[in-house]
Amino acid sequence: MSRPIHTLLHLPRSAKRLLVLLVDASLCILTIWLSLCLRYESWISLANPPYPWVALASVGLALPLFIVFGLYRAIFRYSGWPALMAVTRAVTVYGLLFAAIFTAHSFAAIPRTIGILQPVLLLLTVGASRAFASYWLGGAYHAILRRSSLPSAVIYGAGEAGRQLASALSHSSELRVVAFLDDAPSLKDQILNGLTIYAPADLPDLVTTLGIQKVLLALPSVPRKRRQQILDQIMPLHVNVQTLPSVSDLAHGRLSIADLREPDIEDLLGRDPVPPDAALFNRHNAGQVVLVTGAGGSIGSELCHQILTAQPAHLLLLEQSEFALYEIHQRLAPLCQELNIQLTPLLGSVTDEGRLQSILQHWQPHTLYHAAAYKHVPLVEHNMVPGLYNNVWGTWICASMAAANNVKHFVLISTDKAVRPTNVMGASKRLAEMILQALSPRHPDTCFSMVRFGNVLGSSGSVVPLFRAQIRAGGPITITHQDVTRYFMTIPEAAQLVIQAAAMAIGGDVFVLDMGDPVRIVDLARRMIELSGLTVLDADNPEGDIALEITGLRPGEKLYEELLIGDAPQATQHPRILKAHEAHWPWESLEPKLVKLKEALVHSDFDELRQLLMTLVAGYQPASRITDWLASVPRQADREL
C-alpha cells in the first residue's frame, strides 16, 4: 500500500467527510465552467460576472442535497451499484431544481442550456469520483479491515533481514507487523518502513498496548548464545516466537514468510558449533571411495551429505530399507551429478557376510563409516535378538570384512548409552566398540576407531518433533520422568565431528564428542511450550494450555546419560573432540564369548544372552527384567513336554 493511500485511509471520519465535501464542491464549480465552455464553444473565464454566482448557487444547492441523500455516510465503504444509485437520485433532484432556476426561470447573461448541461456533467463527474474512490481506495480499505483482525507481530532486528521481512509481510494474510525492536540505542524511536523502532526493554509494554502475539527474530547472524539470551527475555511474556534461519541457510537472497520457523532447540542450547577443520575433514574422504552403512538413517544420511562436501571420487550407500535408500539416493543424486561424483545405492544388510564381501571386494573403499544400527532403546529391549544380531554381529562382520579387503579406515558411530548401560541397545553398542578395540592390534593395516556422542536433534525418535506435534495437538506433552536429562547436538554438527575425529585416529581409538551441558527434558518441554505463546498447565497454573504428563521410565531407560566410562579423557587438536581410554577384552578372550553369543542368538536363549552381556560389558546393569516380546512365549520343545 502506498503511503498516500495509507495516510488518507487513516484520517479521522470528520476529516474524510470534509475532504469529500470539498471534492464535490470543486466538481460543482468545474462542471459550471465546462457547461459554459460547451455552450459558447470557447474557453471562457469563470471570473466574469455573473458566472461566480451561478457556481455558488450550484454548490449551495448540491451539498445540502447530497448530505440529505446520505452520500457522506461511510464514504470509503460505498462501492458498486448501490453507491451509484444514491448519487443518481441525489443529482436527479438537484438537476430538477437547478433547471427550474436557470432554464425555466432564466437570468440575464446566463444561457438557459446551462440548467440542462451542468446537472448531466455533475452526475458523470460525481459518479466517476465515487467509482474511482471505490477502485483506488476500496481494496486498500478492506485490506486494512482484514489485516486489523490478524495477529500482531513485532520484528526483533531492524537490519537488512528485518527490513526484507517487513516488506515480505506487508501484504501477508497471516499476520501484521506493527513495530520493530532493536538493541542499537541510536535506532530507538526512529521510523523504518512506517513502523516505530523500540528498545527490547519496551516489549512487555508493547504486548499490552499493541496486543503483540508474535515476535519474529530477524537475527540470522547473531551468535547462538545471544539468541538464547533473547529467548530467555521473551519467554515470560508468553508470546509466540518465530525465527529466521542462519545466514548460511538464507542463500536465496529474498526473504518470505516461508523462511520463518519455530526456534530450533539448538537456539535454546546456546552453543555455537565450531567450524570444521578443512584438513581433518578432507583427509580420508577427498578423492576416495567411501562407503556408508545405514546410509538412509538420520546420522548416515547426514554423513553422506557432509562427505560429499569433501568431494570423494565415489560414494557407496548401503542400506537395508528400500524406501530409505531410495529417498537418500534421490536427495544426493543431483548434487553428485553437479560435482561429478559417482553415487551407488546398494540394498543389503550389514549382517549379510556374502553381500558385504562382494561390495568391498568390487569397489575397494578407502573409508567405511558404520552407521547401521538399531538404536531405539525400548524397541531393542523388546526385540533383543535382532537388536544384538544387527548391532554386534553386524559390526563384527563389517569390521572383519573391512580388514580382509584392505579398507584403510573403519569408523563406528557409537552412543553415550554404551557407557555403563542399563539397556540392551547400550550394551550392544559397547560390545561393538570392544570388537573394534580388540581387532585393532590384529589388523594394523586397517585403522579402527569409534565416535561416541549423545542425542542428535531431529533424528528419528528425537523428543523435539514429538513435543512439537503434541503442542500442536493441544497436549499433553509426555515425559518419562521429571528428572530425565540428556545431551543434545545437531545432526550436521555431529556428522562433521565424526568425520574429523576419524581423521585423528591411529587405531583402536574411542573418541567422545563434547556435547556441552546436559538438558533436563522437562525444562526443554516447558521452554518449547512458552516459546509457542502458550503456558504450562499445572497445579500452579490451572488455567494453562498444555499439561506435562509423567509416564514413567521405559524398559532400559536411564535418568542420566554419560559419555565416559573411565576418567581423565585426553584432549585432541579439535576443541570439541576428546579421546577416551576404555578398558576392553583382548581378542583371544573376546572371540569365544562372541561365538557363544552367536549361538544364543540362533537359539533365542534370552537368559544366556543377558548373562553373556553382563559378563562382557563392564558396568552393564539391566534396569528391568527381560522384556523381549518372545521371552514369555513357550518354545516348541517346552510345549511338547
Question: In a 3-state reduction of DSSP, which class is residue 181?
Answer: strand
**How confident is the model at residue 607, as a pLDDT?**
93
**Residues in the chain, how many?**
641
Q: If pLDDT is split at 50, 70 and 90, which confidence band does 20 have?
A: confident
**Integer Cα distance of 24 and 71 in angstroms:** 10
Q: Helix or strand or coil: residue 236? A: helix
Q: What is the pLDDT of residue 260?
A: 67
Name the grid cell of 262. Answer: 519455530
3-state DSSP call for residue 580?
strand
Average confidence (pLDDT) over 166-176:
76
Give the containing element (helix H, strand E) for 342: strand 342-347
Q: Is 179 left (phi over 0), alpha (psi -120 to 50) or beta?
A: beta
User: What pLDDT, on a 0 to 100 scale, did the predictor assign at position 250?
Assistant: 47
- In the three-class reduction of DSSP (H, G, I as helix; E, B as strand; rest coil), residue 291 is classed as strand
Q: How far apart are CA 262 and CA 267, in angstroms?
A: 10
Q: Average pLDDT for residues 520-537, to the nearest whole number?
A: 83
Question: What would be the CATH architecture of the domain defined by 283-458+489-516+563-616?
Answer: 3-Layer(aba) Sandwich (3.40)
- As a whole number of angstroms, the distance between CA 36 and CA 110 comes to 9
pLDDT(308) > 90:
yes
99, 111 contact by CB (below 8 A): no
Q: Which residue did the predictor score with more confidence, 92 or 271? A: 92
* Other beta carbons less than 10 A from residue 246's beta carbon: 16
pLDDT at residue 252 greater than cutoff 60 = no
Q: What CATH homologous superfamily does 152-263 map to?
A: NAD(P)-binding Rossmann-like Domain (3.40.50.720)
Residue 304 · residue 315 · CB < 8 Å: yes
**What pLDDT digit, counting tens, does each position of 75-112 carry?**
544 455 667 788 888 889 998 998 888 888 777 778 88
Q: What is the pLDDT of residue 405?
A: 96
**Whole-number Cα distances in Å, 13 to 3, 4, 9, 38:** 18, 16, 9, 37
C-alpha cell at 520: 533436563
> Taking the model in full, what pTM does it have?
0.67
Cα(468)–Cα(493) distance, integer angstroms:
22
pLDDT value of position 111: 85
Burial class for 42, CB neighbours closer than 10 Å (0-12, 13-18, 19+): exposed
DSSP E strand boundaries for 218-263: 240-243
Of 636 and 604, more confident? 604
Same fold, 152-263 and 283-458+489-516+563-616: yes
* The pLDDT value given to residue 169: 79
Q: Residues 365-369: what's their mean pLDDT?
A: 97
List phi, psi (to 5°) of 181: -120, 140
Assess whether pLDDT exceeds 80 at residue 150: no
Domain definitions of the chain by residue range = 3-148, 152-263, 283-458+489-516+563-616
Give the residue-averaged pLDDT of 498-503: 90
List the one residue out of 221, 185, 222 whose CA is nearest residue 202.
185
Active-site position among 375, 417, 429, 558: 417
Average of per-residue pLDDT across 213-236 = 82
Residue 85: all three cell numbers together? 444509485
- Cell numbers for 456, please give them: 542428535
417 is known as an active-site residue? yes
For residue 16, the one-letter residue type is K
pLDDT in tens, 425-477: 999 999 999 999 999 999 999 999 999 887 776 665 567 778 888 888 888 99
Confidence at residue 265, expressed as pLDDT on a 0 to 100 scale: 62
Q: Is residue 495 within 8 Å of 225, Cβ to Cβ? A: no
Beta strands at 152-156 and 176-181: parallel, antiparallel or unpaired: parallel
Those residues with Cβ within 8 angstroms of residue 203's Cβ, 6 or more apart along the chain or in another chain: 154, 181, 212, 215, 233, 234, 237
Mean local confidence (pLDDT), 330-340? 95
Q: Compute the distance between CA of residue 518 and CA of residue 504 in angstroms, rounded to an integer.
A: 26
